[in-house]
Amino acid sequence: MMSTDERLAYMAEHILRNFATRGDEEAIEATAQHIGLYWDPGMKARAAAMADVPGVPLSEAARAVFRRLGEEQPLD
């Protein structure tokens, strides 16, 4: 069974694959927009926290998406 972090990584990678024909930068942007629209705040915060954690199974493109999510998170 997948952990929550593994599931988030899997979903992000799947979304990226769907946008892959647009090229890397556009796929990253489209994925970040998709996640921004459809993932709940807790999922987005957890994904952003995973962006720079070593050992998390993320492609560089997924890390870029998760970093963008971190940049967009409102400060409390």
Predicted local distance difference test score (pLDDT) of residue 74: 56
Which run of H or E residues covers position 51?
none
Report the residue count for the chain. Answer: 76
Predicted local distance difference test score (pLDDT) of residue 76: 45
The 10 Å CB-count burial string (b at 16+, else e) for 17-50 is eebeeeeeeebbbbbbebbeeebeeebbebbbeb
pTM, two decimal places: 0.89
Summarised one tens digit per residue, pLDDT across range 39-74 is 999 999 999 999 999 888 899 999 999 999 999 765
Query: Band of the pLDDT at 12, cuts 50, 70, 90?
Result: very high
Q: E-strand spans in the chain?
A: none
Predicted local distance difference test score (pLDDT) of residue 73: 61
